[in-house]
Structures are given as C-alpha cells and as structure tokens.
Amino acid sequence: MQIQTILKNFGLKEKDIAVYLTLVELGPSPVRAIAAKSGVNRGTSYDILKSLISLGLVSYYEKSAHQYFVAESPEKLLNAIEEKSRQLDQVRQQVEQSLPELKSLFEKQGGRPVMKLYEGLDGIKQILNDVLMTMALSPDKTYDVYSSSTESVRKNIYESMPDFNDRRLKKKIQVRIISLGAGGVLVGLDERKWLQNSTANPKATHELIYNGKVAHISLDNSENPVGVIIENEAIYETQKTIFKTLWQTL
C-alpha cells in the first residue's frame, strides 16, 4: 500500500499529504521552502502545518528569528492513530448517551415511514452495517430474517461483507432465519428453519427485521443488488408478528 493511501485513510487530505511528505523529504525547513516544494500556497501550507502539529506529526523550533518545521519520526503516526481511536471511542460513548434524546426528537416526525434506497455491493454493505450498529445498541440482541431462495441475492449479500457473521458474533447478536428455499448453514448464535421448496418464490427478497426497521434486498432487472430500509415502528411490529407466528408453526 502506498504511503499516500495510508495517510488518506488516516484522514489527511491531498494538500495535507503533499505538505507532510515534502517536509519528510526536506527535513527542517521554513514554511516558504515547504510551500515552494509542495506546490501548496504559503498561507495554506502554514495552516496545514499547524494542523499536523496538533496531530503530533510535526513540530517546530525558532532559529535566527525564523520558524523551522520538522516532521516527527514515523512512529508518531501510530501514536496519532491511537489518539484518534481514543477520541472516536469517546464520541461513540457520547452518542450512545444522547440516543434517547435524539430518538425522542426523531419520533416527533409523527411516525411517518422513512425509506432509504441503496444500490450495488457498497449499498448492501451499508445495510448490513446498519443492522450491526442498530442491534449492538438494542437491549434485545435478536433480529429476524427471511432468507431469499435466490442464490445470486445471497451471493451478493455475502460478497458485500464477508466478515458479517464474525462481526455479529463478536457483538453477541443473535438471529432467527426462515429460509425460503434450500441452503444455509448455522454459524453461531443463530437458529434456522426452512419452508418447503414448493412454497418458495424465486423472486422473494431477502428481508431483515431489526429493532424498528425492515430491510429488503433483491436484484434489479439488470441483476444488480439493490436494497431498501424502511424505518417505522408499526411496519416493524407487523413484520415481526408475522415472522413470530410463522416461526412457531415450522
């Protein structure tokens, strides 16, 4: 992996990366030299250097009434990543504490259904991420699934997030699955029941019923994966009741 990609994944923008790598290459330098070498104007370079200092990636010293900037050792990048991780953990805790208030404000919409459309493998990955995040915060750690009988639908779901079940197990999230056809194996913290093949509709969607939401995943006319999440308590409760009733009869 190229160093530019690593720095971009860390959160630096293109100009940040240009200034940082220029400083690494030049060694201790005044902002004028850094700007000239990196191609970033002097004012922006100075602002970027201040930001890199706050991240612990750059430091400076005074010499002959001039400021010289110097890149810290590469090990400091690991320290910066650890610090960013700690900050994100704090933000996560704050968000979790604020969820009841945010949910109360959200519900003042009047209970109108909210629908979100997702396309392609990236879209399906977003749906699966939403399932994990939603269920991780839910007191009830069990959600329900109608597993599509369409092999290409199941294939796209698994391809979009190959480690989904590993992440689900790590969060201790349980799932009950009614398979609308043959296939499917148990992987842990899951229960599965099967409908007879004769009752399975080959065009049936893959449906996930989880804590106030219902997600459907299927294929469009070009065989591309598409999905929709419906956020509505009444729709969720209806689907959950139907699933529970069918589950008890199988």
**Nearest partner of 203 among 244, 152, 247, judged by Cα:** 152
> Does residue 212 share a domain with residue 131?
yes
Averaged over 15-43, what is the pLDDT?
Answer: 93
Token duo for residue 80: 């910066």
Token duo for residue 125: 């990955």
Q: Is residue 120 part of a domain?
A: yes
**59 close to 80: Cβ distance less than 8 angstroms:** no
Q: Give the pairing type, strands 66-71 and 174-179.
A: unpaired
> Does residue 140 share a domain with residue 198?
yes
Contacts of 177 (CB under 8 A, 6+ apart): 144, 145, 146, 147, 184, 190, 191, 192, 193
Averaged over 14-23, what is the pLDDT?
Answer: 93
Q: Is residue 222 part of a domain?
A: yes
> Does residue 127 share a domain with residue 62?
no
Report pLDDT digits (tens) over 71-112.
888 788 888 888 878 888 888 888 888 877 777 766 665 556
33, 59, 76 — which closes off a domain?
76
Contacts of 208 (CB under 8 A, 6+ apart): 127, 131, 143, 144, 145, 214, 215, 217
> Does residue 147 share a domain with residue 64?
no
> Does residue 128 share a domain with residue 41?
no
**217 close to 230: Cβ distance less than 8 angstroms:** no
Report pLDDT digits (tens) over 108-157.
655 567 899 999 999 999 999 999 999 999 999 999 999 887 777 888 88
Averaged over 211-230, what is the pLDDT?
Answer: 92
> Does residue 183 share a domain with residue 71?
no
Q: Which helix (H) or strand (E) holds 71?
A: strand 66-71
Least trusted range by pLDDT, from 28-32, 56-60, 89-93, 201-205? 201-205
Domain of 50, CATH number, reads 1.10.10.10
> Does residue 203 share a domain with residue 126?
yes
Q: Is residue 105 part of a domain?
A: no
Mean pLDDT of the chain: 87
Q: Is residue 216 part of a domain?
A: yes
Give me the number of domains the chain comprises. Answer: 2
Q: Which domain holds residue 233?
A: 110-249
Domain of 235, CATH number, reads 3.30.870.10
pLDDT recorded at residue 198: 46
Token duo for residue 239: 């689907």
> Does residue 140 share a domain with residue 60?
no
